Amino acid sequence: MRFVYALLPMLLVACPEGVKDTSEQLGTQDQSLSFWPPEAGRGTTFDAKITSTNSVFDFDGNDLSLGGGVTVNSFTVLDGWTATANVTVDPAATLGARDADVTTRGGDFEIGSALTIVDDSFALAPSRAKIGEHIQVELIGQNTEWVSGKTWTGFGEGVEVNAVDVLSETYMLADVTVSPDAIPGLRDVYVENGSDLTTGYNAFQVDRVGISASFDPAEVTQGQTVSFTIVGKDTHFSKKTDIRFFQYGDEKGDIVIDSITVLDGENMYGQLTVSNAAELGTRDILIATDDEGVFVEDGTTVLDADIDIGDVGISRWFYVARSIDNASGAISEYVSVGAIFYLPLDPPCPPNPESNCTDKLDNDSDDYTDCNDSDCSTDPACGGGPQPYDSNGVWQTYTTGGSADCPANETVSAGDHVWLESDCNIVTLDKHVDGASGMIYYSKDDVALPDYCFDQMYALHTEGDPEGIPEETVEDAQPTVPADYEMLVPGWWGNYTHSRAEDLTYTWTPAQTYPDAFFGTQISGALVDPEGAQGYAGSLPWDDGEHTYTPDELGQLKEGNASFTAFSYIEGPPVGFTFSTVTTKSSSTVQVSGSLVLE
């Protein structure tokens, strides 16, 4: 366990319990001296405090020595019982405990094991905050090995650490809120890194000056657009003021600020819209202006609203996925079918999606740029894949994100069962409710390939729920692909190996996709350029049973393990309930996955 003094100048308070108090008088008079802080890191400069049980210090003739590698820059007597010193520890100072030799008019004293030199330390910026304030604090480490997901920090009672973002082994950001009830004054800050504990003594100060704010209204309702007012105390609101909402420590994107008008540093008003899928319960509110932030705990409460089925959309799926085992060549098969009846997010989330997918800018400020933003997933610049027919190409794949704080759509019951009905068969979907999220969905637990009739257009028939969706039949709701198919050569298993310098010709039994569906394949792996990126060689061949990847395409993938995927795909028309304004499309695939080694 390590404790280290933060390399910051700071005010000093009365000597705390547990400080070194092991002085031994080298002269004739029995006195007791103590030294604080007990520990300091290599390469740091700090203020120390030396106290005595009796009056021994004079305003001249005093000295302090802490041994080699530790320089006493100054020694200042405050009164006969107290002195301070500014001390610098050399970056190469010997680790471990060392004595402090103190010379005073009352005699020479030795404080045994007064200071322990440790290897790691950290500094804070800023190192103070007001009561009620919300700020981000930088922690700058020295000789530290901080790890994301493993390292955490604490600022003591009354200062809550909302989040920690470890950006390197020596740098992290702490998002902290000072409680309105926090006790003002200096406090220790600790960093816990696994079993290692590093302490910055008196590293952070809570000022006696406090800021606060109130928010009105105290209650809002899902789907509601309302006016709000904020009244601050000792705040500095400006045109740059930002308002964010939190629940259980997590930021929520389900309340959107439409407008803000700042009257002065302590008064503002505006308009907000609550998502129709906003999570119920209280919200803490962060009001941030430049470097100042004030946190309003339990600022408002989101109430439930009645469901408007006039805006219900239908999500449905029916697909077959097959996987070829590399060791045995055995084919495993998974069939999935289901439906969800949901309310589209209002307002949409994100409200301002990425507007340009090639400008290298984060247009919607969600920390994802261009093709790495899920808003760009269908943009041609982001590797949309080949276009029909008989075309090949190589595309990069992207790890996408964005809009992570959008609320989950609210779902609606349509009875205990719904049915997919066709001339071939009827598939019964049972109602399920997710225990964690409350999402309502319909699926068939024991679905198998005989349930998937090829070349069908299923109607969706709801049983009806008096408190939700009534009974209705939606025609042309779910298509299936025209026919089954089989991959023939090569076998795509048994560590099948192929040279990138040679054509790779593959065959299959035609999937009969013309004219309404299409057939495609791809070989996925690591790209040669850009280095470290993932990508795929893709093909939309004529569905005639034979196609070839060329050395030019295969050569853009690195040698090593790769995966092969074939799929037939069909898309249905947009449909919806007669009582709803929302229409949606559904698609279906039959997919086969295998593996290969490129050399």
Q: What is the pLDDT of residues 95-149, one digit of tens each?
A: 999 999 999 877 889 999 999 999 999 999 999 999 999 999 999 999 999 999 9
Confidence at residue 78, expressed as pLDDT on a 0 to 100 scale? 93
Confidence at residue 385, expressed as pLDDT on a 0 to 100 scale? 60
- Do 212-303 and 23-118 fall under one CATH topology? yes
Q: Are 232 and 213 in contact (CB under 8 A)?
A: yes
CATH superfamily of 23-118: Immunoglobulins (2.60.40.10)
Confidence at residue 14, expressed as pLDDT on a 0 to 100 scale? 34
Task: Examine the pLDDT at 256 and tell me if it is beyond 70.
Answer: yes
Confidence at residue 365, expressed as pLDDT on a 0 to 100 scale? 65
Q: How many alpha carbons lie under 13 Å from residue 169 in its C-beta half-sphere?
A: 5
Task: Examine the pLDDT at 71 and tell me if it is beyond 80.
Answer: yes
Q: Of residues 311 and 13, which shows the higher confidence score? A: 311
Q: Just give the CATH number of 121-210.
A: 2.60.40.10
Q: Are 191 and 173 in contact (CB under 8 A)?
A: no
Judged by DSSP in three states, 380 sits in helix
Query: Is the peptide bond prior to 16 cis by the omega test (within 30 degrees of 0)?
Result: no
How far apart (Å, rounded) are the C-alpha atoms in residues 537 and 599?
Answer: 15
Q: Of residues 160 and 349, which shows the higher confidence score? A: 160
What pTM, to 2 d.p., does this model score?
Answer: 0.68
| Average pLDDT score over residue span 555-580 | 97
How far apart (Å, rounded) are the C-alpha atoms in residues 376 and 392?
Answer: 22
| Average pLDDT score over residue span 526-541 | 93
Confidence at residue 356, expressed as pLDDT on a 0 to 100 scale? 79
Confidence at residue 60, expressed as pLDDT on a 0 to 100 scale? 84
Task: Examine the pLDDT at 11 and tell me if it is beyond 60.
Answer: no
Cα–Cα distances in angstroms (integers) from residue 296 to residues 174, 231, 277, 285, 287, in the given order: 19, 11, 23, 5, 8
Q: What is the percent of the chain where pLDDT is above 90? A: 76
Task: Examine the pLDDT at 20 and tell me if it is beyond 60.
Answer: no
Q: What is the percent of the chain where pLDDT is above 70? A: 90
Query: Is the peptide bond prior to 573 cis by the omega test (within 30 degrees of 0)?
Result: no
Query: Is the peptide bond prior to 574 cis by the omega test (within 30 degrees of 0)?
Result: no
| Average pLDDT score over residue span 165-170 | 95
Task: Examine the pLDDT at 28 and tell me if it is beyond 50.
Answer: no
CA angle 373, 375, 381 (to 5 degrees): 80
CA angle 526, 531, 535 (to 5 degrees): 35
Task: Examine the pLDDT at 593 and tell me if it is beyond 90.
Answer: yes
Q: Are 388 and 518 in contact (CB under 8 A)?
A: yes
| Average pLDDT score over residue span 61-72 | 93
Question: Mean pLDDT, the chain, as a whole number?
Answer: 89
468 pLDDT tier (thresholds 50, 70, 90)? very high
Cβ neighbours for 380, distance < 8 A, ≥ 6 positions apart: none
Q: What is the largest CA-CA distance in the chain?
A: 110
- Compute CA 528 distance to the chain's CA centroid, rounded to the nearest angstrom: 30
Q: What six digits make up the tokens of 424?
A: 């071939």
Cβ neighbours for 264, distance < 8 A, ≥ 6 positions apart: 237
Alpha helices in 226-323 (DSSP H): none
Task: Examine the pLDDT at 578 and tell me if it is beyond 90.
Answer: yes
Tell me, what DSSP letter sits at residue 280? P
Top mean-pLDDT range of 30-44, 320-334, 386-400, 526-540 = 320-334
Q: What six digits make up the tokens of 420?
A: 């997919």
If DSSP states are collapsed to H, E and C, what string results for 145-172?
A: CCCCCCEEEECCCCEEEEEEEEEECCEE
Confidence at residue 19, expressed as pLDDT on a 0 to 100 scale? 42
CATH superfamily of 212-303: Immunoglobulins (2.60.40.10)
SS3 content of the chain, % helix, strand, coil (to 5): 5, 50, 45
Task: Examine the pLDDT at 58 and tell me if it is beyond 90.
Answer: no
402 pLDDT tier (thresholds 50, 70, 90)? low
CA dihedral of residues 145, 146, 149, 150 (deg, nearest 10):
70
Residue 425's nearest CA partner among 388, 452, 447 is 452
Among all chains, which residue has been given the structure tokens 């001296």?
Answer: 33
User: What are the residues facing 332 on neighbouring strands?
Assistant: 323
Confidence at residue 224, expressed as pLDDT on a 0 to 100 scale? 95
How far apart (Å, rounded) are the C-alpha atoms in residues 398 and 531?
Answer: 13
Task: Examine the pLDDT at 3 and tell me if it is beyond 50.
Answer: no
Confidence at residue 9, expressed as pLDDT on a 0 to 100 scale? 36
Would you list the domain boundaries of the chain?
23-118, 121-210, 212-303
How far apart (Å, rounded) are the C-alpha atoms in residues 191 and 177?
Answer: 17
Task: Examine the pLDDT at 10 and tell me if it is beyond 80.
Answer: no
Q: Are 37 and 48 in contact (CB under 8 A)?
A: yes
Task: Examine the pLDDT at 295 and tell me if it is beyond 80.
Answer: yes
Q: Are 58 and 104 in contact (CB under 8 A)?
A: yes
Confidence at residue 32, expressed as pLDDT on a 0 to 100 scale? 85
H or E element in which residue 551 lies = helix 551-554
Polymer length of the chain: 599
If DSSP states are collapsed to H, E and C, what string results for 221-247?
A: ECCCEEEEEEEEECCCCCCCCEEEEEE
